[in-house]
Structure 1
């Protein structure tokens, strides 16, 4: 089947070429049908395990592209705002290529994520407030230092790095008919969604976001940027409040639906992934499972793929949520 042509910022040839740039430790991650989980959910479930890599999240695929570009330009520094996972990934990729990395994060971010950012050698600056506050500070730092600001989802490399997950999903057998993707800033949703709709146009792409952090989902339904005053969810990795217009434009091209799920369903999803797949995941990684839990009839009998996008979780909090 010839690829479907979609009007987005992404490019299928660049995404295929990206595999030669990304460190192979981030590529070809485990992907398999999880029968015990499927029996619990009433559908066939394929999990794509993006925690089996040095930074325990999918973000390293994008930061490998970003840092390769920066070093090719002769740059020596980079700054980013992060809820935790991007900071770890940029620190890892930056250290590998000799870049000095500064990460700005909320003081309220999970301690485990902050500790790993420091352990990877990045300069970590903490701010009061949420991710959007950290983003504002990162913009200021990058401008003052005259260094590159790495912006997740806005920088096309972060989307096209994540899109390599879609290449691997689409090449699997048997083919799924639905993919459930955690939605935050949109890098993974637009990247994976773009590849899936290009190569498997009959598959349904559904983005999933917590009801406590609904900005991008509301924006998708409204077909315009909708911001929120607050974000309140345990899924810190997807808790943005200000969607990026260019990313929304891409998402409108590649997503068939965007749904919101409750905190209780996210917690149950984490428990099911532990009990029936043996996976310890952060809340964002359970959003796909939560979506099935909240609408079993919609997914009954279907073959659902879901990306387990991160495993960086504070274990004390995890024990409370999962009852482990």
Structure 2
């Protein structure tokens, strides 16, 4: 029996609290991509929704909980996608949402946070600086601090993706999951290991933002002084101990990939699948590119977790 903070009954019940627009996202075999990678590849497309990422599965649960408690406001730190998702979910339930983000976050993500009606505060520094400021605002205003990956709702919301993968009945050998703070990795990993225990769960992180992978490998929290990756959505430096404990229980492996492989993955997803995605969403493809022999002849599923990408930067990457 797998022991984590997550609960299968709650995850199944969560589906009734999540707007159906975020559920049952497309899952299909992409033969063109598979031919390029030398394995069978299925894509789970988590970008076909109003916020273009999986994050709203979790914020739907958070916002429902807060509204049920009579709360009227919430604050979060975000690299961009969580802020959009909380803004969307909060607005529908009458919550005042404040998002703290780094000034260096992609402008397209910041613009969409504002468009969703959230108050946006920008800080110098990276995501960790934003997390500190969000905590300060929570204390000053007496409002709920929504913490991605630490708040179990964010993990169990993401875990509904795992339910859908397990329910599909496909013969996946491996599922490749982007690893950042850990919500999607622990959520999907838990659902799969509970319902389809033979499926290999591999988490993928950029070499330039390796804190959670190093922590998984050493079985203790390992922090880094900085990050250097185009995959801004997974560029954290301080793993959360409780999340690491969950990850240790559900992940079969955690691998690091180079920036050049992430860019190559972006290009392949455009050319072979017709998908414009953000770098975090290309991590699974990057992992196969760096270790083709490991995946040769296998059936691999990769979760396309977000497509909120700055188009100017995207054009530079794919033309490299």
- Residue number in structure 2 paired with 1:146: 142
State the partner residue of 2:277: 281
Identify the residue that residue 26 of structure 2 maps to in structure 1: 30
CA drift of 1:185 comes to 0.1
1:270 to 256, 259, 266: 266
Alignment of 1:121-270 (within 5 A): 121-270=117-266
Q: Distance in 2 between matches of 1:308 and 1:222?
A: 28
Runs of 4+ in 1 over 2 A off after TM superposition: none
State the partner residue of 2:36.
40
1:106 counterpart = 2:80: no
What SS does structure 2 have at the residue aligned with 1:279?
coil
**SS at structure 2 position matched to 1:152:** coil
Taking the TM superposition and a 5 Å limit, the aligned residue runs for 1:12-23 are: 12-23=8-19
Q: Given the alignment, which residue of 272, 288, 292 partners 2:288?
A: 292
Q: Which residue of 2 aligns with 1:320?
A: 316
Unaligned 5+ runs, structure 2: none
Give how far 1:172 is off: 1.4
| Aligned residue in 1 for 2:86 | 90
Q: What is the CA-CA distance between 1:174 and the residue it aligns to?
A: 2.4
Quote the Cα distance in structure 2 between the aligned partners of 1:60 and 1:88.
Answer: 8
Give the secondary-structure state (helix, strand or coil) at the position aligned to 1:271: helix
In the alignment, what sits opposite 2:46? 50
Task: For residue 126 of structure 1, give the secondary structure of its aligned residue in structure 2.
Answer: strand
How many Å apart are 1:134 and its aligned residue? 0.2
Which deviations, in whole Å up to 9, do the C-alpha atoms of 1:48-104 show, x marking residues without a partner? 000000000000000000000000000000000000000000000000000000000
Q: Could you tell me how far 1:323 is from its partner in structure 2?
A: 2.4
- Mapping of residues 75-86 of structure 1, within 5 Å: 75-86=71-82
TM-score, normalising length: structure 2: 0.99
